[in-house]
DNA sequence: ATATTTATTGAACGATGTTCAAGATCGCTG
DNA sequence: CAGCGATCTTGAACATCGTTCAATAAATAT
């Protein structure tokens, strides 16, 4: 019984790769089951033997995108660390660059919405939470007195702020921003946010001494 | 010929209001032309006498949402102004509150995407640019030496950062954040961003004196 | 009142996600 | 290796969409 399952697995991998390429080329809205079936050489109905529905397919592609994003952020934090500030800025720039280079796949991560009655599977939620990890460590170095809970909240806030700048910056709806200008803006505002957070922490800490 | 056009106009208003209510109740994906037609009492084909297509309908609803958002932000900046910093924070909180209270309509502003070959009409683009106006004035008070271009860029960055925090904060995908905690986080990070921007501006300005 | 212009209708079209009975294929056993 | 039961695959069919259009009804002009 191995032969059948092997073929199934190979087809499933092909399907997810084809879906990834299709989203990258035509956007999430351009993903069609019939085109996918033709691409991997099977009947359109067969797609539902490999995957429960299109939602799962999009989530599986998203999982791959998140993995590559994770690698890109790891590479950014890996290279020599002059200071936690510099590391955080490099991570933010790496996030921007990844989004620009994988525009449609990155958008698909946030554009996709499940039906209200079918929530995200756990494995998908877990994928997403891994991202904050990259920001957590430099933040912990900057604010050693903060609790893990506080650091987690701050990490999510920082990530969300950078995400917003990238999301609206890469949007063609508004005035198109040249990528170098966007990178500069992000570096500048991240630097300001960190400086501001440090300043406010010192102010707070010294209040007892006054 | 007034009778026919009057009826047409009334129907068009009804249509947009019905679409607004439908998006608010069922989300952008729940907007269906046949349901709309039944709601306003006409044939489904008649919808296309009132509006070119669903894209235009969504944009018209978006225009109304942006108008109400504009009013909410104006109200936030209007109330007594202790300092530009405090005003910016109030605006950010107002943005967060508006998004929370008008969740589906606010989401529709950013979820909706036009087909690649049909760009946004000018009137819709203009609607969106008005938003930065609210941030521009307090920023100009904080950084009088900056050029209008620089201020515009900073205003967009600040707006985008807050937008990102609200967008990911209200997302049910990740861990649900209680609204009061989100408001507190936004106030904190906006404060930090402004402090940081001021600090970096001072540093830069005094560099010549070093 | 009649003719001409215009608006409205709702059936039909094409696309799309999903299902399912019928047929093809596979894996095991005698 | 032949045959049989289980399983997989197929592609036609279904339900829903947005959108179009010839026919009908209404409104306006003469």
Mean predicted lDDT score pLDDT of chain A: 91
Check whether A139 has a pLDDT greater than 60: yes
- B117 CB contact with strand D at below 7 Å: no
- Whether residue A51 contacts residue A15, with contact meaning beta carbons closer than 8 Å, is answered with yes
Q: What is the pLDDT of residues A55-90, one digit of tens each?
A: 999 999 999 999 999 999 999 987 766 899 999 999
Both tokens assigned to A65:
């995108």
Both tokens assigned to A155:
């990490």
Quick one: fold of B60-209? Tetracycline Repressor; domain 2 (1.10.357)
Domain spans, chain B: 1-51, 60-209
Q: How far is CA B146 from CA A136, A172, A187, B86, B134, in A?
A: 34, 26, 18, 20, 17
Check whether A177 has a pLDDT greater than 90: no
Q: What is the pLDDT of residues B7-36, one digit of tens each?
A: 889 999 999 999 999 999 999 999 999 999
Q: What is the pLDDT of residues A180-190, one digit of tens each?
A: 999 999 999 99
Both tokens assigned to A152:
């987690």
Label residue B208 exposed, middle or buried (CB < 10 Å: 0-12, 13-18, 19+).
Answer: exposed
Both tokens assigned to A86:
């510099």
Rounded-to-integer distance, Cα B185 and Cα B178, Å? 11
- Whether residue A65 contacts residue A105, with contact meaning beta carbons closer than 8 Å, is answered with yes
Q: What is the pLDDT of residue A78?
A: 76
DSSP B101-116: HTHHHHHHHHH----T
Quick one: fold of B1-51? Arc Repressor Mutant, subunit A (1.10.10)
Check whether B180 has a pLDDT greater than 50: yes
Rounded-to-integer distance, Cα A141 and Cα A145, Å? 9
Q: What is the pLDDT of residue B209?
A: 43
Q: What is the pLDDT of residue B77?
A: 87
Do B167 and A169 lie within an 8 Å CB cutoff? no
Q: What is the pLDDT of residue A210?
A: 46
**B161 part of contact set with chain A, CB < 8 Å:** yes
Q: Name the superfamily (CATH) of residues A63-206.
A: Tetracycline Repressor, domain 2 (1.10.357.10)
N-to-C CA span, chain B: 76
Residue nearest to nucleotide C12 (CA to C1'): B45
**B193 part of contact set with chain A, CB < 8 Å:** yes
Q: What is the pLDDT of residue B210?
A: 45
Both tokens assigned to A31:
């993903």
- Minimum-distance CB partner of B128 among A156, A173, A197: A173
């Amino acid at each position: 019984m191995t032969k059948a399952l092997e073929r199934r697995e190979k087809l499933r991998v092909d399907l997810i790769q084809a879906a990834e390429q299709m989203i990258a080329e035509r956007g999430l809205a351009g993903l069609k089951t019939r085109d996918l079936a033709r691409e991997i050489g099977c009947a359109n109905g067969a797609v539902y033997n490999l995957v429960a529905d299109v939602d799962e397919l999009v989530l599986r592609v998203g999982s791959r995108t998140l993995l590559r994003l994770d690698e890109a952020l790891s590479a950014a934090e890996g290279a020599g660390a002059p200071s936690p500030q510099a590391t955080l800025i490099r991570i933010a720039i790496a996030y921007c660059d990844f989004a620009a280079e994988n525009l449609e796949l990155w958008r698909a991560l946030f554009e996709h919405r499940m039906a209200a009655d079918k929530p995200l599977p756990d494995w998908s939620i877990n994928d997403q939470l891994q991202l904050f990890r990259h920001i957590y460590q430099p933040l912990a170095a900057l604010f050693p007195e903060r609790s893990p809970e506080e650091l987690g909240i701050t990490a999510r806030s920082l990530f969300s702020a950078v995400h917003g700048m990238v999301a609206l910056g890469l949007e063609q709806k508004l005035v198109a921003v040249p990528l170098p200008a966007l990178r500069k803006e992000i570096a500048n505002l991240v630097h300001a946010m960190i400086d501001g957070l440090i300043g406010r922490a010192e102010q707070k800490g010294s209040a007892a001494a006054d």
